[in-house]
Structure 1
């Protein structure tokens, strides 16, 4: 169902009209049944419109005052869906570009020291590839839990291949049961259905040998933890 919004992308009126359009579409499809699909229909229409708007205005979102509101609104509508479509799943790669993760691991460690990113387990980002030893892959997640970045600790370069790349989280993980469930539903299950990109499936990825828990991986991760701690203890300025 098409959404008709004529105001400027990312303006305050834009988000107001998204909300109004959502209510209108939901009202048109609302049924007084046990299984009411109106929320999903309306949210899918809003998401389709937002995806098209972002693709047509890719540079406008960076540094915009409504940056956070865009992602909050997008994620909110994702969570109204009973399940993700393949298109919305792969769109997370478009969204993850806005995490502003540096290309170099050294710069990322500085951001970790400032509390802007956190070091996380890279267990599912250490599958063997021919180009490098995945045992040295390390993963970071932004402080809001949305954006991910994977680096190779030996080269210091960001990892972007479809096997081990970092992706955007529609529902950041948590030990809280409901948030954990949402992360599983909107991030993990779609990954298992379609992989990170259409270049290689989840089954093909997981058939590869994992370098997680290898001697090289444990040593590399420990060294990175120590380096991060040292950076945190430095009296550096955080912007």
Structure 2
């Protein structure tokens, strides 16, 4: 992933996948059917709330969707600081290279106000 356009395009892919999925399923279905990330795997999605939980959808040949659900409100989180994004890389090394590193550099969207130090070290970093 070389450009900001490629990086931000993953949001369009993820949003279309999630919206299509939610035409037929509910938030409760996602929580039951998708894999919930361990707490240490969703820190980049807790900038606005510690109650944001990450769920990974089915792996496709193009990558993997993720959705962030706030466990207090049971709503999908779409704030640029915490939103779920399409994962191009599957596995630790590809995910770091293709998804995490560009997030550190560019944020989730052009309007993502998360300071870079928090993108790299997580929301608990001062």
Structure 2 length as normaliser, TM-score?
0.76
Q: Does the Cα contact within 8 Å between 2:44 and 2:123 map onto a contact in 1?
A: no
RMSD of aligned alpha carbons: 2.6
**Aligned with residue 135 of structure 1, among 50, 70, 88:** 50
Q: Which has the higher helix share?
A: 1
Structure 2: stretches of 5+ with no match in the other structure: none
Q: Does the Cα contact within 8 Å between 1:90 and 1:196 map onto a contact in 2?
A: yes
Structure 1 length as normaliser, TM-score?
0.42
Structure 1: stretches of 5+ with no match in the other structure: 1-82, 129-133, 175-179, 211-239
Structure of greater Rg: 1
Match of 1:124 in 2: 44
Q: How far is 1:167 from its partner?
A: 0.3
2:63 is equivalent to residue 148 of structure 1: no
Q: How far is 1:203 from its partner?
A: 2.9
Structure 1 stretches of 4+ moved >6 Å: none
Partners of 1:205 and 1:126 in 2: CA distance: 14
Partners of 2:51 and 2:31 in 1: CA distance: 18
SS of 2:76's equivalent?
Answer: coil
**Aligned with residue 107 of structure 1, among 23, 26, 45:** 26
Q: Does the Cα contact within 8 Å between 2:104 and 2:116 map onto a contact in 1?
A: no
Q: How far is 1:102 from its partner?
A: 3.2
How do residues 177-216 of structure 1 correspond to structure 2 at under 5 angstroms?
180-200=92-112, 203-204=115-116, 206=118, 209-210=123-124
Partners of 1:111 and 1:141 in 2: CA distance: 9
Q: Which has the higher strand share?
A: 2
Number of aligned residue pairs: 113
Q: How far is 1:205 from its partner?
A: 7.1
1:122-150 deviation digits (Å, cap 9, x = unpaired): 2211113xxxxx01111111021610110
How do residues 2-151 of structure 1 correspond to structure 2 at under 5 angstroms?
83-100=1-18, 101-102=21-22, 107-113=26-32, 115=33, 117-121=34-38, 122-128=42-48, 134-144=49-59, 146-151=64-69
